[in-house]
Structure formats: structure tokens, C-alpha cells
Amino acid sequence: MKKVHSGSILNLYGRRDIFKRRLREGYNKVAFCPNTLISDNRLITVWVFYHPNGKVATYEFPVSDNPFEAEYTKEEFKKHKEEFQIWIGQKIGLEKLIEGW
């Protein structure tokens, strides 16, 4: 797989240790959500990790706050996504993404 460019979104918004941990926990897909305007004119960038059993985990970057992780059931994440109108990009294989990083 082609290596990731140093100015890529992975290097700007990703933490390799979190991605590797999620892979060890059984998550196998990941998607990126570019800057999304949420409440009070706040921008947020989100990585979404998908587990085969339906669990969803996120690594979220509010522009004016510290990044944080969250875990959801499939139903909880659907509500979270709808509430904040988060647009999720195409899912890709987590292992392949890490290999190319």
C-alpha cells in the first residue's frame, strides 16, 4: 500500500496508538468525517471505527477543545450522528490504513 504523505489527515488528526489499539480490540473498518459544524458554531473532525459486532468508537477533534474518544452501540451512534448532523465518509479497512501509515 502507498505510504501516507506527511501532511495527510492521518498525520494531522490521527494517533497511531489509538488506531492500533482499536484494531487489537477487533475494530476492522474506519471512516473519516471532515470538519463538521455542530452546536454554537463549533467545528469537529471525527474518526469513526466500526466493529463487526455493531459497536462504534470515535476519536473526535473539537476545534476549541481537546480530542477525546467515545464508544457507542450502533443505535446510540446513529442518534449521535443525526443529532449533530455528522457526515461520515467511506469506510475503509483499518488494518490496511495502518499498514500504509
- CA–CA separation, 15 and 31 (whole Å): 14
Summarize pLDDT for 29-76 with one digit per residue, the tens: 999 987 666 666 566 788 999 999 999 999 988 777 788 899 999 999
Residues 12-25: pLDDT tens digits?
A: 667 889 999 999 99
Domain residue spans of the chain = 9-99
pLDDT, one tens digit per residue, over 76-100 is 999 988 887 888 889 999 999 998 8
